[in-house]
């Protein structure tokens, strides 16, 4: 039986269910990050994991006292930080974990919509690992489509309709994980550090027999990267040389050393390599630094050298 938006909304949020919590990852947060975190904590129990170098328990800043603040003391990467926050929620008996970036705008409607629908799907016997909204990228000016991995190519699934869509991966920010599936699937791969962490985890979730669902009636504002650039009619989200190192390294490592990654994803990433190399290098304003970091990422990816960026 399919479950749509109307069915999800029939389930009261007050019914008995394992409580849910949220995890936000900080990295050099500005004042707005603290404001958003405090606002979120008024809606749902919150864990903030701080990847800022030098962070410690005494540097929680203006965070509300009921927020759990975990300071890593260094940048351990998004995967390790999310794992730490999720494990705290699991240890306290929480049933669901909502994940957010420090700049994500999480409305009450989004949080309630995710939780009510996930609980409704569970009551119907559906094995759902993760569900998430469509996202509207303010800088790119569009609502992004969801993605499926076909045999030879990836297909775009428009974020339309009132029914959950079976897809193959979601970005982590704004998503809701059913923690009963966490032990079967495993934690996020901390060795990837940042890029493709969500893609790799969703692939493992699907292989373990769980669904990955997009909820097109829920929309979240989210920005990917820095100011985008246009190239032959397409807009590319730009990143720092640091991020481009991980994009190239992790893509190549997953292509060469992870046999379970879908062939269509591998082919798609390979075809993007030359275009990304050109755009990220020549249109960034810092061509030498970008090119050097991309080449370093390619070299480390070919050797399957993962983890934090090695110091030279």
List the chain domain ranges.
5-221, 229-302
Sign of CA dihedral 143, 261, 97, 56: negative
For the cut 50, the answer to whether the pLDDT of residue 298 exceeds it is yes
Helices (H), the chain: 5-10, 31-41, 78-91, 108-123, 182-185, 197-207, 241-257, 263-282, 287-302
Work out the angle between the directed axes of helices 287-302 and 241-257 (0-180°, nearest 10).
Answer: 20
| 8 Å CB contact between 108 and 43 | yes
For the cut 50, the answer to whether the pLDDT of residue 13 exceeds it is no
What is the pLDDT averaged over residues 287-304?
Answer: 96
- In this predicted structure, which of 54-58, 67-71, 139-143, 285-289 has the lowest mean pLDDT? 139-143
Work out the angle between the directed axes of helices 241-257 and 263-282 (0-180°, nearest 10).
Answer: 160
**Tens-place pLDDT, residues 236-281:** 777 899 999 999 999 999 999 999 999 999 999 999 999 889 988 9
Query: How much is the mean pLDDT over the chain?
Result: 90
Q: Which residues pair with 213 in a beta bridge?
A: 131, 166
For the cut 50, the answer to whether the pLDDT of residue 152 exceeds it is yes
What is the per-residue pLDDT for 119?
95
User: For residue 290, with 0-12 CB atoms within 10 Å meaning exposed, 13-18 middle and 19 or more buried, which class applies?
Assistant: buried
- Extract the tokens encoding 309: 């960026």
What is the pLDDT averaged over residues 132-145?
Answer: 81
- In this predicted structure, which of 15-24, 98-107, 197-206, 290-299 has the lowest mean pLDDT? 15-24
**Tens-place pLDDT, residues 208-226:** 999 999 999 999 987 665 6
What is the pLDDT averaged over residues 3-9?
Answer: 57
For the cut 50, the answer to whether the pLDDT of residue 12 exceeds it is no
- State residue 58 phi and psi, 5-degree precision: -85, 0
Specify the fold of 5-221: Spore Coat Polysaccharide Biosynthesis Protein SpsA; Chain A (3.90.550)
How do strand 142-143 and strand 128-137 relate by DSSP bridges?
A: antiparallel
What is the pLDDT averaged over residues 182-188?
Answer: 96
| 244 Cβ neighbours under 8 A, 6+ residues apart | 276, 280, 290, 293, 294, 297
What is the per-residue pLDDT for 70?
97
Tokens 């309709």 correspond to 161
Tokens 């990228």 correspond to 137
Percent of the chain with pLDDT over 70: 90
Say whether 304 sits in a helix, a strand or coil. coil
| 125 Cβ neighbours under 8 A, 6+ residues apart | none
What is the per-residue pLDDT for 11?
38
What is the per-residue pLDDT for 312?
55
For the cut 60, the answer to whether the pLDDT of residue 116 exceeds it is yes
Taking alpha carbons only, the member of 75, 97, 79 closest to residue 88 is 97
What is the per-residue pLDDT for 232?
63
């Amino acid at each position: 039986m399919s479950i749509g938006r109307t069915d999800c909304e029939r389930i009261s949020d007050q019914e008995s269910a394992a409580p849910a919590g949220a995890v936000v990852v900080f990295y050099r947060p500005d004042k707005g990050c603290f404001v958003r975190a405090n606002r979120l904590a008024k809606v749902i129990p919150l864990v903030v994991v701080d990847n800022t170098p030098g962070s410690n328990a005494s540097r929680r800043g203006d965070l509300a006292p009921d927020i759990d603040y975990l300071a890593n003391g260094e940048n351990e990467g998004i995967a390790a930080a999310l794992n730490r926050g999720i494990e705290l929620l699991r240890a306290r008996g929480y049933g669901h974990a909502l994940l957010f970036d420090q700049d994500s705008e999480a409305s009450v409607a989004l949080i309630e919509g995710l939780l009510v629908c996930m609980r409704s799907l569970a009551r119907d016997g559906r094995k759902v690992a993760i569900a998430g909204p469509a996202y509207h990228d303010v800088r790119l000016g569009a609502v992004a489509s969801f993605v499926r991995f076909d045999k030879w190519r990836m297909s775009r699934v428009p974020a339309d309709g009132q029914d959950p869509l079976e897809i193959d991966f979601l970005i982590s920010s704004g998503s809701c994980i059913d923690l009963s599936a966490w032990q079967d699937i495993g934690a996020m791969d901390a060795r990837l550090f940042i890029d493709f962490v969500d893609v790799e985890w969703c692939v493992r979730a699907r292989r373990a027999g769980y669904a990955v669902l997009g909820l097109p009636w829920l929309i979240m504002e989210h920005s990917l990267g820095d100011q985008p650039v246009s190239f032959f009619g397409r807009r590319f989200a730009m990143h720092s040389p640091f991020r481009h190192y991980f994009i190239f390294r992790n893509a190549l490592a997953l292509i060469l050393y992870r046999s379970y990654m879908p062939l269509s994803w591998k082919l798609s990433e390979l075809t993007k390599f030359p275009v990304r190399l050109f755009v990220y290098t020549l249109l960034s304003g810092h061509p030498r630094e970008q090119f050097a970091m991309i080449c370093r990422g390619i070299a480390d990816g070919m050797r399957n050298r993962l983890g934090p960026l090695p110091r030279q």
